Amino acid sequence: AEPMVQKHLESLQSSCGNGLETGALQRLTNLLLVEGLTDLQQKEHDILQVETTKGLPSTSKSIPLEKLFLPLSKVSIPPRISVTVGVAGIGKSTLVKLFVCSWAKGEISRDILLVLPLTFKELNTHEKLSAECLLCLACPHTTAPGSVPARAARTLLILDGLDEFKTPLDFSNAVVCTDPKKEIQVDNLITNIIRGNLLQEASVWVTSRPAAAGQIPSGLVDRMTEIRGLGAAEMKDFLEQMFLDNRDLSSQVLQHIRANRSLQVLCTIPGFCKISASSIAYFLKHSNDQSQEATVVPRTLSEIYSYYFKMALSGDWLEKPREALKIEQAVNTSKKLVGSLGRLAFYGLLRRKHVFYEQDMKAYGIDLSLLHSCLSTRLLLKEDMPASTAYYFSHLTIQEFLAALYYYTAAKRAIFDLFVESGVSWPKLGFLSHFRNAVQRALQAEDGQLDIFMRFLSGLLSPPVNRLLSGWLLLKDEHGGWHSQAVDALQGCLQAEHAVSWRAVNAMRCLHELQHTDTAQAVEEAMRSGTLAGMLTPTNCSALAYLLQVSDVCLEETNLSNCLTYNVCKRLLSQLLFCHSLRLDNNQFKDDVMELLGSVLSGKDCQIQRLR
C-alpha cells in the first residue's frame, strides 16, 4: 500500500495547498475546547449568536490543532468522534484544508497513517453508498475497494460541512448496518459510521455550523471544539492582507469598522469582514465623485451589502478603466442574473438549502454561461467535483440579501403568498401585505432562520439604500408610502407579554435597518441619565434588550440600578445572561427575583462575570 499512500499524499498537497494565505491562519492553529452546544447555538441564527456573545470566545480552554486527535491525558484514549463547530464564514473548510495540508507534509499528527477528507457537498451527489465505496471516494488512488487500510493503524475520516448535507441525520430511526460492502442511503451510512457500527477503527472528524451539529447526539461526541473569531490584532492583519498594496486604505477601513460597534462585532467573522471591508473600501474610493447626500459611510447591514452589490454589478474589482458601453452591457446581464439568483436564494433559504447543483440552476432558469462573469466570483462560488459541480453563495448573508432583493421586487406584483412556491394559497395583494406576511413568517421560524433576510428586507425600504440602488436593482423612490406602515408592522413584534424573545431583538435591528431609531434613542438616553425607572413597558424592554448588545452605554458595565421590577426582570432574563458586568443595586428585590437570578447564573449560556 506504500505507493498508494504516497500518491494520496501528493494529491492532497496539491488540492489543499492553494488558497491558504499563511498570515491569516495563525488563529486556526488553536481551537476552543467546549463542553457542548449552548441553547443559543442550537436555536439561533449564526449572526445573532455572534451579536449576542459580542464575538467573544465562550471559554478560555483551548487545544492546539496538532493535539486535536490526541488523548487529553495519559490515562484517556484518543477521541473517536470529534466535532468542530463555527458560524458561517469563520473558516471551517479553511481549517480542514490547513490540517490536511500540514498532515500531508508530515508536520502534524504523524501518528495518523491515512487522512481521508470528504465534503458533504460531494456526498449530496450520491443516493446510496457502502462504507467501502465511501473510503474509495476519499482516496481514489486505491485499486481495489478492500485496500484502504481501516485497520487499527489510525485512519482519520474528515466529513466537512454537515450543515450543507441535504438530508437531516436521524439517529433515533436509522437502520443498523454492520456490513461495509452493503450499499445504503448516504444519511444512514453517516449515522452508522458515527455510531460505530461501521469503520469503528477509524477516527471521524465532522465540521458544522452550530445548529446543524445538534443533530449528532451529544453522547456520541467524544470531543467538541469551536473556531474562534478574529481578535483585534488579527482583524488588523486580516485587513492589511486584503489591501496589501494600500496601507492607507486598510487603516481607514479599520477606523470605520471600529467606529461602529455592531459592525466591529460581526467583523470577527472573516467571511463577513471581507464583505464589509470591500464595501467600505469601494465607498471610500468613490466618495469623492458622489453628491453630498451620499457621502455617509455605510453603517447598516443593508447599506454595506448595497455597496457590495453595486461593486459586483459594475465589475469594479479591477483598477483597470473600462469602456462605459461594456459596463452598461455587463450591468444589464448581471441584473438578469441577480433576478434568477434571487429566486434560487429565497427558496433555498426557506428549505435550508445552501448548496446548489446543475439541475437546481437549470430549474431556476440560471444561465450557466453567464455565471462566469465578474459578478459571480464575488457572489457565487463553484466547486468542481468528480461527478458534478456544486454552486454556493460566497457567504450565507449574500444568499439572504439576494433573497430579500427577490422578495422585495416580487412582492410588488405577486398576487399569491410568495412563501408557497408551488401550490395554491390565498390571494395576497400589495407590497405591504407581503411585507407583513414576511414579518409573521420570520416570527414563527423557530430558529431565526429568516432573521437576517428580514433585516435586509426592512433595509431595502430605507431612503439611503433606496437611493443607492435606484436604477440598479430598484426603481427610484418607489417605496414612498410604505416606510411608516413597515415600521408599524415591526413595532408590533416588540410587545412581548412574558419575555423578550430573540425575534423581538431582531425586530429592533430591523427598525435600525429601516433607520427608525426613535424608541432605541429614547431608552438609551434614559440609561445615560439614570431615568429608566417606570419607563420599561414591553416595547421599551425589547429596546433595552437590543441596547444591551449594541450601546456604548453598556460597554464597560450595564447599569440597571433603581429601575427593575419582578416583571421587568423576568422579561429581560434571557438577555441579561450575556452582560459581562451587571449592576442591579437599589432594586427592591424580593426572594422570587433572587430565585430567577439564581437560575440565570447557573445556566450554561451565562456570561455574567461581575454582579452588583
Integer Cα distance of 94 and 117 in angstroms: 13
More confident residue, 601 or 45: 45
Stretch 448-471: mean pLDDT, rounded?
Answer: 92
Strand partners, 581: 610
pLDDT of residue 374: 53
pLDDT of residue 433: 94
Stretch 266-286: mean pLDDT, rounded?
Answer: 95
Stretch 240-265: mean pLDDT, rounded?
Answer: 94
More confident residue, 611 or 202: 202
Q: Which fold has domain 1-227?
A: Rossmann fold (3.40.50)
Instruction: State the alpha helices, DSSP H only, in 203-351.
Output: 210-213, 232-242, 247-258, 261-266, 270-286, 301-313, 324-350
**pLDDT tens per residue across span 314-324:** 765 444 455 66
pLDDT of residue 43: 93
Stretch 476-500: mean pLDDT, rounded?
Answer: 82
pLDDT of residue 453: 98
Cβ within 8 Å of residue 508, ≥6 positions away: 494, 519, 520, 542, 543, 545, 546
Element (H, E) at 497: none
Residue 484 pLDDT > 60: yes
φ and ψ at residue 108, rounded to 5 degrees: -135, 165
Q: Which of 93, 95, 89, 352 is nearest to 212 (CA)?
A: 352
Cβ within 8 Å of residue 56, ≥6 positions away: 607
Stretch 332-355: mean pLDDT, rounded?
Answer: 89
pTM, two decimals, is 0.93
User: What secondary structure, in 3-state letters, does 175-213 show?
Assistant: CCCCCCCCCEEHHHHHHHHHHCCCCCCCEEEEEECHHHH
CA distances from 63 to 115, 202, 362, 443 (A): 20, 21, 45, 38
Contact, 607 vs 581, CB < 8 A? Answer: no
Residue 347 pLDDT > 90: yes
Residue 604 pLDDT > 80: no
pLDDT tier for residue 590 given thresholds of 50, 70 and 90: confident
Q: Which of 444, 351, 355 is nearest to 396 (CA)?
A: 355
More confident residue, 96 or 329: 96
Contact, 572 vs 600, CB < 8 A? Answer: no
pLDDT of residue 476: 63
pLDDT of residue 491: 94
pLDDT of residue 283: 93
Residue 241 pLDDT > 50: yes
φ and ψ at residue 539, rounded to 5 degrees: -65, -45
Cβ within 8 Å of residue 467, ≥6 positions away: 293, 294
Stretch 81-91: mean pLDDT, rounded?
Answer: 97
Residue 332 pLDDT > 50: yes
Cβ within 8 Å of residue 571, ≥6 positions away: 496, 498, 499, 500, 536, 538, 541
More confident residue, 563 or 48: 48
pLDDT of residue 85: 98
**pLDDT tens per residue across span 119-146:** 999 999 999 999 999 999 998 876 554 5
Cβ within 8 Å of residue 537, ≥6 positions away: none
Among 77-91, 261-275, 365-379, name the one with the lowest average pLDDT.
365-379
pLDDT of residue 23: 56
CB atoms within 10 A of CB 295: 11
Contact, 277 vs 307, CB < 8 A? Answer: no
Residue 191 pLDDT > 80: yes
Integer Cα distance of 93 and 303 in angstroms: 28
Residue 497 pLDDT > 80: no
Instruction: State the alpha helices, DSSP H only, in 380-533.
Output: 396-411, 431-444, 451-459, 463-469, 483-491, 502-513, 518-529
DSSP 554: G
Residue 570 pLDDT > 60: yes
Stretch 99-124: mean pLDDT, rounded?
Answer: 93
Contact, 227 vs 28, CB < 8 A? Answer: yes
Residue given cell 452546544 in the structure block: 37
pLDDT of residue 295: 61
pLDDT of residue 150: 47
Beta strands in 66-181 (DSSP E): 81-85, 114-119, 128-129, 155-160
* Mean pLDDT computed over every residue of the chain: 88
Helix, strand or coil, per DSSP, at residue 559: strand
* Type of residue found at 108: I
pLDDT tier for residue 148 given thresholds of 50, 70 and 90: low
CB atoms within 10 A of CB 291: 7
Among 23-32, 63-72, 194-203, 444-453, name the one with the lowest average pLDDT.
23-32
Helix, strand or coil, per DSSP, at residue 603: coil
Residue 16 pLDDT > 60: yes
pLDDT of residue 371: 74
Residue 505 pLDDT > 80: yes
CB atoms within 10 A of CB 180: 18
Contact, 188 vs 165, CB < 8 A? Answer: no
Q: Start-end ranges of CATH 3.40.50 in the chain?
A: 1-227
Stretch 584-592: mean pLDDT, rounded?
Answer: 77
Contact, 430 vs 489, CB < 8 A? Answer: no
pLDDT of residue 568: 87
CA distances from 292 to 467, 469, 473 (A): 13, 17, 22
